[in-house]
Amino acid sequence: MHSPVSILSGRLRIALGVVQGVLLYALYSNWTAKTGLATQPLLFAPALMLAAFLPVVAVSGIGHLSRRNLRIWLAALAVILSGLGAYDAWRSDLSSLLPQSASAGKISGDMDGSPDILPSATLFVLAVVGLFIAQAMMLAGDADGRRIATYRSYFEMAWKLLVQLLFAALFTGLFWLVLETGNALFSLIKLDFLGKLLDKSWFNIPVTTLAFSSALHLSDVRPQIVAGIRKLLLTLLSWLLPMATIVIGAFLLSILATGLEPLWQTRRASHVLLGATALLVVLINTVYQDGNHLTPRTHRFFTACLRIACLLPAPLVLLAVYSLGLRVAEYGWTVSRVAAATCALVAAMYAAGYALAALRLHDRLQRISSTNVLASFAILIVFLALLSPLADPARIAVADQLHRLATGKTLPARFDFHFLRFNGARFGVQELKQLSEQKNPAYPVLAGEKARLALAAQDRWNREELDEIAPDAAKNIRVHPAGKTLPKGFLAQDWRNDKQRWSLPSCMTRGDRQCDAYLVKPAADAEEQVLVFDGNSMPALFAAGPADPASPAGEWRLLGKLMVTPSCIEELKQAAGRGALDWKLPLQRDIDINGVRLRMQAEQTVTKCAPDELRK
């Protein structure tokens, strides 16, 4: 039997689900028809944020927060979400800054050319994560009757809320699976009424929100089910910590043998290292849980693993910060690097706290609790800073890049005006306008010319209209073994005009990329060829001599790419450097029929190599 309170809570939650669906449908109708609030981005984005998140927060808080606290909490979130939504719309609205031809939709707009007024993906994702953390902390504090709750309450509420949200998402997905199954069954007998109904936005939007709210309510009135699922989930995940500890520990030990150079050559070391740190943090907490169930007698194995694992985030974060620092020193700040720096800041808090907890051998790792609470508050502050003018990554990156241009650290020929146009938001476009008007004498005249080209650009993926100066292959490509030089014809060729430019390594078509190249010979009496390794694509082989008889003599061309796994690339480089590549004839040859050459196109499969084969 349900209590009157739970019955009332259920009715309120179902009503909120319906109201949310109606509001979202109204906003969707405005957006598709380009009427009403959809004509006012500064109003539409906040309204969408409120309709998407506030009802869910209210459904989660009903029955757990007092009426007064719930009203205050919802009012505070309404102010924050509205402000963040309005700022996001303002920084993304470039219609008043760009020429009409450039602002007509190819930047971030719809296919019909109208500007995009939806909240950015960054705002949406950070809002989801931030609201989850804030709601769990609010529920725990209200349950304890204090502003800062006990760690046990934080743990209980956070994992309960996570399981509820996952359950609600699963229930909603299965709900739609049942509807689609019914539609498929009725279509077998030529009845399409259900299919037409499912296509109607006035039906599918409210039904989805109603299903999600109902699932949240059902999981809330059966707390023992949620507790059982949480316990099973934590038990399963806890067994991943020993494996993660061994893998990451082995990686750190391997660096002592390989050095740091292979790590930096990947150009994504910071992201991978911070991702590994985040994985460790999650797994550490699946074992630690509320901190009270681990005892030396009953959980000696997991306690030992936990202490070792708590020491691993520190070197990972130090490597990530060092890698990020090298990139910033060489190329300056970008949006992604500012975001990575904020992630590294939060990761450093976890790493320091966990390391201190592991080194204190006379307690039961209790410092993990305080670290988690402090880091949660820090994450909320960082999110608010990133989504507001305080630490907007686009504003910081644009200011830094322009400083490098003004001080001569970056030459105008190498400056990425494409970044200002398509990744600098309002700040980048405003600076481009000033550069194009030559209002600041600190910048060269060439910067103004390229800024005008960037302002007129319409496609974020097409850099040809901005990259007027060909990349310097001699600087972009590192030749191995040391002392070798690339052929003059290869260096002189403008690869941006090649018919296969989209298949070429990026260092040959862009000025801000680097590759490694090896001079190789398929046979002792053959001409030298160039094998180029680009970190973002498969190794590419180039040879002199035109593929097309009409092409000029001496022209270099792309012969093809080697389809290999990443683990094989390093072995391939070593073999090429030693001149020990074992070349083989094709398995099948081309066929000539009456003077017409039929070429054999090999199936493109990625090959795993055996290292011994390359060492021959």
**Taking the CA of residue 345 as centre, how many other CA atoms within 13 Å lie in the half-sphere pointing to its CB?**
16
Q: Output the pTM of the full model.
A: 0.77
Q: What is the mean pLDDT of residues 355-382?
A: 90
Tell me the pLDDT tens digit for each residue of 280-335: 999 999 999 887 776 665 568 888 899 999 999 999 999 999 999 988 988 899 99
Task: Dig out the tokens for 363 from the structure.
Answer: 């307690």
Cα 47 from Cα 614, distance rounded (Å):
61
Cα 512 from Cα 529, distance rounded (Å):
24
Torsion of CA 511, 517, 522, 527, to 10 degrees: 60
Three-class SS of residue 210?
A: helix
Residue 79 has a pLDDT of: 97
Cα 131 from Cα 52, distance rounded (Å):
12
The helices-and-strands tally (H runs, E runs) of the chain is 23, 7
Q: DSSP strand E in 407-545: where?
A: 477-480, 515-520, 529-533, 540-544
Tell me the pLDDT tens digit for each residue of 193-209: 999 999 999 999 999 99
In angstroms, the first-to-last Cα distance of the chain is 76
In order of 264, 269, 319, 340, 513, the CA distances from 326 in angstroms are: 9, 11, 11, 13, 15
User: Left if phi > 0, otherwise alpha if psi is -120 to 50, otherwise beta: which for 116?
Assistant: beta
Task: Dig out the tokens for 352 from the structure.
Answer: 């320091």
Q: Considering only CA atoms, which of 194, 272, 289, 271 is closest in space to residue 233? A: 289
Task: Dig out the tokens for 270 from the structure.
Answer: 């910071």
Q: How many CB atoms lie within 10 A of CB 34?
A: 12
Q: Beta partners for 516? A: 478, 533
Q: Are 394 and 91 in contact (CB under 8 A)?
A: yes
Element containing residue 478 per DSSP (H, E): strand 477-480
Q: How many CB atoms lie within 10 A of CB 473?
A: 19
State the DSSP code for 599: -
Q: What share of the chain is helix, strand, coil (3-state, %, to 5)?
A: 60, 5, 30
Residue 461 has a pLDDT of: 60
Tell me the pLDDT tens digit for each residue of 384-421: 999 999 999 999 999 999 998 888 888 777 788 888 88
Cα 247 from Cα 250, distance rounded (Å):
5
CB-count burial class (<10 Å; 0-12, 13-18, 19+) for 236: exposed
Biggest alpha carbon distance in the chain? 91
Cα 472 from Cα 411, distance rounded (Å):
13
Residue 587 has a pLDDT of: 60
Strands 596-598 and 591-593: antiparallel
Residue 503 — pLDDT band, cuts 50, 70, 90?
A: confident
Tell me the pLDDT tens digit for each residue of 516-561: 899 988 887 788 899 999 876 788 899 887 655 555 556 888 888 8
Residue 441 has a pLDDT of: 65
